Structure 1
């Protein structure tokens, strides 16, 4: 759809409602805006959108051992984290300045990242819908590192017209899914760029691996690109801290090159350990198991 074409009416209505919420939130100072939007997602959006039921269904599969109180905590924490993340994305310079000033990068793989930058070696950043993915991009870009990302445009074109500029302002380049985006992405990677790729959603064309000891179709692309371009493959996740506003951006151990399915299983295992420690920060709304 071109910029001159009008999106469908329902898309425009939904987009107008979203912009109204974000506009009201922007009237608040940052320290109140972020939790306020988290509250709105938890108590207004999640029940209407069916998120609570889907979170419970996924937890019944993956964590049937949770008590009723633990289950309730996760059901509330997941949409709150999502709401906070959206508010942060739409906070522009306030968000990125806070991240870059804090320089929250840490973890056993940080030295390998620094070495890759010095040698201009490509890097595949294996990331997930955990904490705030964009805090990770802001932290890496704050070091002056060449972090790009592949993204899927939203189905709502009216939403895309402000969402894509918002995420582009955090760090760029960004590459849309599709033939043109893929070609640009590969040129960037060949030139020593760093590419953030998600791997935590169900992919019907993926390979059946294990996640929370359940069969789950997993994309092999991050491992395959790392092997093809001799790129470092490293998991990086932004963990939201107890204050709800700050992050620790954890750089995990680089994944040893080998067979692609085994590399991706190592990433699944690493993410599972992280999610078990921070159950409310992974987006349990996704249909990860089918």
Structure 2
């Protein structure tokens, strides 16, 4: 007879299996649709359902903390845009191999304007390591796809899904359009160190709360900030670049790669970890202030 713990574990495993089957089935059906129709539907569905979810309140609270002077109606408008962007991003994820249509030989033909091509090529052709950071802005998944298009091998640190069956299916979508994928789990830091030591390139999302991180300002409020980027830059004395995606009207995107960034240094000439992460937070804050409806306001960034 199964113990209560074993029965619970088996029940959860069956639930995970069933959920993965349902989601994978939906993914395969959606991929039969024209990409633009599926993406528009994703935006509509998220705008319709998102405001009804409990996490919507988190977004409104975050916006009130970051913009105390803003009218409630404007915060609601911004958060509706956040839901629209999230729905479109989720649908675009299923069409990563089709959405990114940038043609290096004819850069004005597709739906993407890319600023920083010279930097992309400089990193690609260099034998020195570098770190590229970004934030959960617009469709952040498109940045490594863009890098792969330019022949730039970037290994991306990502948080895997708890549902292993579903994670394998979705990682197959990612892996087919991106470079290397490094799950954020024990051993990840050693893997990143190894890549940089070999002269490789890594990509990191650095805008979410990290409970064991440094408490640094973000929108003038204390925010737990992961210092890993700065620690890696210090250990390997490597260049750091900032990259972002901006969603534009009519299905267009603007992509930008900026750098290398002039990092703060300590008295010994080493990368200053706290100063660097303050600078990174300031860069991301500038991006968010420019396009507040394209950032992921739905997590508790300021819980300390």
Whether these two folds match at TM > 0.5 is: yes
Alignment equivalent of 1:61, drawn from 61, 65, 72: 65
Q: How many residue pairs are counted as aligned between the two chains?
A: 281
What residue is the counterpart of 1:274 in the other structure?
287
Q: Which has the larger radius of gyration?
A: 2
Do the aligned residues in 1 keep the contact of 2:82 with 2:295 (CA within 8 Å)?
Answer: yes
Q: Distance in 1 between matches of 2:120 and 2:179?
A: 18
Q: Which residue of 1 aligns with 2:107?
A: none
Show the counterpart of 1:219. Answer: 226
- Note the alpha carbon deviations across 1:99-138, whole angstroms, 9 max, x for none: 456464315xx54454333331211111111111111111
Q: How far apart, in 1, do the equivalents of 2:286 and 2:82 lie?
A: 17
How large is the Cα RMSD of the aligned pairs?
Answer: 2.2
CA shift for structure 1 position 181: 3.8
Which consecutive residues of structure 1, in runs of 5 or more, have no partner in the other structure? Answer: none
Determine the structure 1 residue equivalent to 2:269.
none
Superposition TM-score, scaled by structure 2 size: 0.84
Query: Are residue 185 (structure 1) and residue 197 (structure 2) matched?
Result: no
Q: Is 1:85 paired with 2:98? A: no
Output the CA distance in 1 between the equivalents of 2:188 and 2:203.
Answer: 14
Q: Distance in 1 between matches of 2:71 and 2:258?
A: 30
Alignment match, 2:253 = 247
Deviation by residue 1:161-186 (Cα, 9 ceiling, x = unmatched): 21211111221211112334433332
Secondary structure at the residue paired with 1:125? strand
Distance 2:95 2:226 in 1: 32
Residue of structure 2 in register with 1:70 after alignment: 74
- 1:221 deviates by 0.8
1-side partners of 2:253 and 2:179: how far apart?
20
Could you say what secondary structure the match of 2:141 adopts?
helix
Shift of the 10–58 alpha-carbon distance from structure 1 to 2, 3 Å rule, reads farther
Q: Which of 52, 56, 67 does residue 52 from structure 1 map onto?
A: 56
Q: C-alpha displacement at 1:13, in angstroms?
A: 4.4
- Residue 264 of structure 1 pairs with residue 268 of structure 2: no
- In 2, distance between residues paired with 1:79 and 1:86? 11
1:208 is paired with a residue whose SS is strand
More displaced stretch, 157-166 vs 214-223: 157-166
Partner of residue 146, structure 1: 153
Cα distance per residue 1:183-239 (max 9 Å; x no partner): 333222222221111111111111111111100010111111112112111110111
C-alpha displacement of 1:253: 3.6
Q: TM-score when scaled to structure 1?
A: 0.88
Quote the offset at 1:67 in angstroms.
2.0
Pairwise CA distance, 1:69: 2.8
* 2:210 counterpart (198, 203, 211): 203
Q: Counterpart of 2:254 in 1: which secondary structure?
A: strand
Check whether the contact 1:105–1:139 (CA below 8 A) recurs between aligned residues: no
Alignment partner for residue 34 of structure 1, among 10, 31, 39? 39
1:34-83, Cα deviation, whole Å (9 max, x unpaired): 11112122212x24542311110111111122223321211211122112
Contact 1:124 1:233 (8 Å CA) reproduced: yes
Question: Does 2:106 match 1:106?
Answer: no
1:171 equivalent to 2:173? Answer no
Q: Closer, same or farther in 2 for the Cα pair 1:214/1:145, shift >3 Å?
A: same
Aligned to 1:115: 122
